[in-house]
Chain A
Amino acid sequence: MSLVAIAEKDFQDAVRSRGMIALVALFSLLVAVFAFVIRPTGQGEQFATELLLRFFVRPFLVTTLVPLVGVVIGYNAVSGERESGSLKLLLSLPHSRADVVFGKVVGRGAALSVAVFAGFLLPAAVLAVLAQTGGIAAFNAGSYFGFTVFAAVLGVVFVAIAVGCSAAASTQRRALIGGVSIYVLFVLLWGAVTGQFLGAAGGIVDPLPLSTEQVRMFLRVSNPKTGVEILSNAFLGGQLFTGETVNRQISAASMLVFWTIAPPLVGLWKFDTDGL
């Protein structure tokens, strides 16, 4: 399996980078700081795992930092190898370009997941031990672990978008510009951009059998960042893929799948038509 070979090589290459250790350290440090900030002060107070996740870890780490890390890990996947010349070595072996693009998504997605799991779970292990020994009351390890999975999913989606961009870019510089744009669009400006779009496209939306509200909701859910927020909220509320928001959750999940597959495909199409 050519794709697996590339994914494995890329994973090994990525986890050996110094940035990887820095990343794990940064994640751990931030989680530890947040946990310290919300530590129970009075006697008999419970450790608020949900509070930690919902109001600290998610906004500061998951939906802000993890996408950034995904973009940074992904943006040079193909263009970096093209620029350095190692792509020649790679494509001298019997790999198709599809193997290269999707192998990179898998390999780097896995590397990012390892960083997220290591970074989130190291401090959690400390919390769990404290909970066991009675140092703190009731640390909800299940919620925490599930939440970490969502963080990794979001990271992988951004890796996929960035790898697609990297495959399409003819130079490392363009890939970098593309990566920054991805981050700015999805993380910072999605609401403003889609709002503008709705305003401008009013004439097109009106004749459709959809209310503006439905289109707005669709656009909101289309953002992988929002998608993960919706799903993780449902998860923490014990209503993953059930309850009244089930339709919205399914749309969100489908959009996450879409963003994992479509950008690499578009990148591949461009990569395939280009020479090296």
Chain B
Amino acid sequence: MTAIELRGVRKEFGDVTAVRDLDLTVEEGEVYGFLGPNGAGKSTTIDMLLDLVRPTSGTVRVLGRDATGDGVAIRQRTGVLPDGFSVYERLTGRKHVEFAVRSKEADDDPDDLLERVGILDDADRKAGGYSKGMRQRLALAMALVGDPDLLVLDEPSSGLDPAGAKEMREIVEREADRGATVFFSSHILEQVDAVCDRVGILREGELVAEDSVEGLREAVGGEETLEIAVGGADGTEGAGDAGVEAVRAVDGVSRVDRDGDALVVSCADGAKTRVIAALEDAGVAVDDFHTREASLEDLFLAYTEGDAPTTGASDEGSSTGGADAADEEVER
């Protein structure tokens, strides 16, 4: 059975189209990362899964039921961590979880759930005094009530520190091992890489890519990132800026950023020798450089900014046959 099935879904708010012609399928037991920059339509899509907003056209089916007509039955078997929610300030953490247990007619022990998300010690405090991260944990505890078949997590790591984000991932993994389908959104690809079977990237309301993380990486092709230390100790100020201009002009370079004394260059596989040469021609001293595999962030940006690389960048300048892609260090 498919856990989530969207067909030709479109949502308009006034003249703004938040989601357009979205087709999306998530199979049962799958962990699906739903990515996109802020404002891409992720939350609107999630709200449609939960019948918080209704599609202008198209059909949304969740756990085999129609989201618009059967919302209560769907949410009975779904755990939700919403985005931009707030807690009931005057009720304690434990009361919140008790309320979720009652609402779902489940028989979980609230303390077990609070323990799992790491806020048992604060269970008797009013949730109004919780930090953002604790509120996020509390909502996760509420989402886990009743061992749901589907977990819908909207930006689950927001407000969590790195350790908290890691715990969140571990909980997601455990739920997936139990057999639950997990659908979660994020605007940071790093967070989904470790846990996702598949990711979909949403941009301006449209799904622009959908694949495993490896698949996406391949699709972006020979794109790699060069980190070049310039200027260095003898520090010719402004050398960096001249360098940026020179590198931008090189064929096969898609992106150049300055990072202190270093230039971060995204370029096609074979372009790196030309980049170094261009810097030297411009009179910029190259102290050190190394390449790294296209980071997830680069990958994400490739899809969500500028032109989506549908054909891949590898058809340009692959003449020098890029050798090993990862972490090749060259001392000069």
Residues of A within 8 A of B (CB): 2, 5-6, 8-9, 12-13, 16-17, 84-86, 88-89, 91-96, 275-276
Question: Whole-angstrom distance between the alpha carbons of A197 and B29 in the complex?
Answer: 63
* B82 cross-chain contacts in A, Cβ below 8 A: 85, 88-89, 92
A96 touches B71 (CB 8 A): yes
CA distance A5 to B104 in the complex (A): 10
Taking CB atoms, residues of chain A closer than 8 Å to B84 are 85, 88
The answer on a CB contact under 8 Å between B75 and A92 is: yes
B86-94, B195-203, B221-229, B239-247 - interface stretch: B86-94
Which listed residue, B13, B53, B90, B100, touches A93 by the CB 8 Å rule? B100
* Interchain residue pairs with CB less than 8 A apart (14): A9-B99, A12-B95, A13-B88, A85-B85, A86-B85, A86-B86, A88-B83, A89-B88, A92-B50, A92-B75, A93-B142, A94-B76, A95-B75, A275-B54
Inter-subunit contact B87/A89 (CB<8 Å) = yes
Among A89, A94, A276, point to the contact of B53 (Cβ < 8 A). Answer: A276
**Which residues of B sit under 8 angstroms from A91, Cβ to Cβ?**
50, 52, 75
Are B72 and A96 touching (Cβ within 8 A)?
yes
Interface size on B, residues (CB 8 A): 31
Give complex CA distance A89, B84 in Å.
Answer: 10
With beta carbons under 8 angstroms apart, the residue of A84, A86, A96, A276 that contacts B47 is A276
Residues of A within 8 Å of B86, CB to CB, are 84-86, 89
Hey, which chain A residues are within 8 Å of B285, CB to CB? Answer: none
Q: Residues of B contacting A5 with CB < 8 Å?
A: 99, 102-103
Distance from B264 Cβ to chain A, minimum over Cβ atoms (Å): 38
Contacts of A6 on B, CB cut-off 8 Å? 103
Having A91-B50, A93-B104, A96-B72, one finds 4 other A-B pairs with CB under 8 Å, namely: A13-B91, A16-B91, A88-B52, A92-B82
How far, in angstroms, from A8 to B96 measured CA to CA in the complex?
12
Contacts of A13 in B (CB 8 A): 88, 90-91
| B88–A88 touching, CB < 8 Å | no
- Chain A residues with Cβ below 8 Å from B73 are 94
CA distance A16 to B142 in the complex (A): 22
Q: Which residue of B lies closest to A92 (CB)?
A: B80
A86 contacts B88, CB within 8 Å? yes
Q: How far is the CA of A89 from the CA of B91 in the complex (A)?
A: 13
Partner of B85, one of A9, A17, A89, A94: A89
Please indicate the chain A residues that have their CB under 8 angstroms from the CB of B90 in the complex. Answer: 13, 16-17
Complexed CA–CA distance, A275 and B83 (Å): 15
A224 to chain B, nearest CB (A): 29
Bitwise, B47-73 to A at CB < 8 A (1) or not (0) is 100101110000000000000000111
Closest to B82 in A: A88
How far apart sit A2 and B143, CA to CA, in the bound complex (Å)?
Answer: 17
What chain B residues lie within 8 Å of A96 (beta carbons)?
71-72
User: Which of B88, B104, B143 meets A94, CB within 8 Å?
Assistant: B104
Instruction: Verify if B150 is at the interface (C-beta below 8 Å from A).
Output: no
Known: A86-B86, A89-B86, A96-B71. A9 touches B91 (CB 8 A): yes
Complex formed: what's the CA distance from A182 to B71 in Å?
A: 33
Cα of A13 to Cα of B76 in the assembled complex, Å: 24
A89 touches B72 (CB 8 A): no
B139 at the interface (CB under 8 A from A): yes
Whether A12 contacts B87 by the Cβ 8 Å rule is: no
Residues of chain A within 8 A (CB-CB) of B91 are 9, 12-13, 16
A86–B142 Cα distance when bound, in Å, is 13
How far does the alpha carbon of A216 sit from the alpha carbon of B143 in the complex, in Å?
A: 55
Interface readout for B295-312 with A: 1 if CB under 8 Å, 0 if not?
000000000000000000
Closest chain A residue to B101, Cβ basis = A5
* A275 touching B88 in the complex, CB below 8 Å, given contacts A5-B99, A92-B80, A93-B75: no
Residues B85 and A88 in contact, CB atoms below 8 Å apart: yes
A88 contact set on B, CB distance < 8 A = 52, 82-85
Chain A residues near B76 (CB-CB < 8 A) = 94
Residue ID in chain A nearest B74 by CB atoms? A94
Q: How far, in whole Å, are A86 and B127 apart by their CA atoms in the complex?
A: 12
Across-interface contacts of A17 in B (CB, < 8 A)? 90
A residues less than 8 Å from B72 (CB atoms): 2, 94-96
Q: Give the 4 A-B CB pairs with smallest separation, nearest first.
A: A275-B53, A92-B80, A85-B86, A93-B103
> With a CB–CB cut-off of 8 A, which chain B residues contact A94?
72-73, 75-76, 103-104
Contacts of A86 in B (CB 8 A): 85-88
Report the minimum CB–CB distance from B185 to chain A (whole Å).
14
By CB atoms of chain A within 10 A, which of B73, B82, B95, B139 has the most?
Answer: B82
A5 to chain B, nearest CB (A): 4
Q: Which residues of A contact B139 (CB under 8 A)?
A: 89
Question: Contacts A275-B52, A276-B47, A276-B52 hold; do A95 and B103 have CB atoms under 8 A apart?
Answer: yes
Tell me the bound Cα distance from A88 to B53 in angstroms. Answer: 11
* Residue numbers in B under 8 Å from A16 (CB-CB): 90-91
A69 CB to nearest chain B CB (Å): 18
In the assembly, what is the distance between CA of A13 and CA of B99, in Å?
A: 12
Distance in Å from the Cβ of B135 to the closest Cβ of chain A? 10
Q: Which residues of A contact B103 (CB under 8 A)?
A: 2, 5-6, 93-95
Tell me whether A89 and B102 are in contact (CB under 8 A). Answer: no
Shortest distance from the beta carbon of A274 to any chain B beta carbon, whole Å = 9
From A5, which residue of chain B is reached at the shortest CB distance? B102
Which chain B residue has the least Cβ–Cβ distance from A274?
B53
Chain B 102-133 against A: per-residue CB contact (8 Å), 1 yes, 0 no?
Answer: 11100000000000000000000000000000
Q: How far is the CB of B147 from chain A (nearest CB, A)?
A: 14
List A contacts of B83 (CB < 8 A): 88
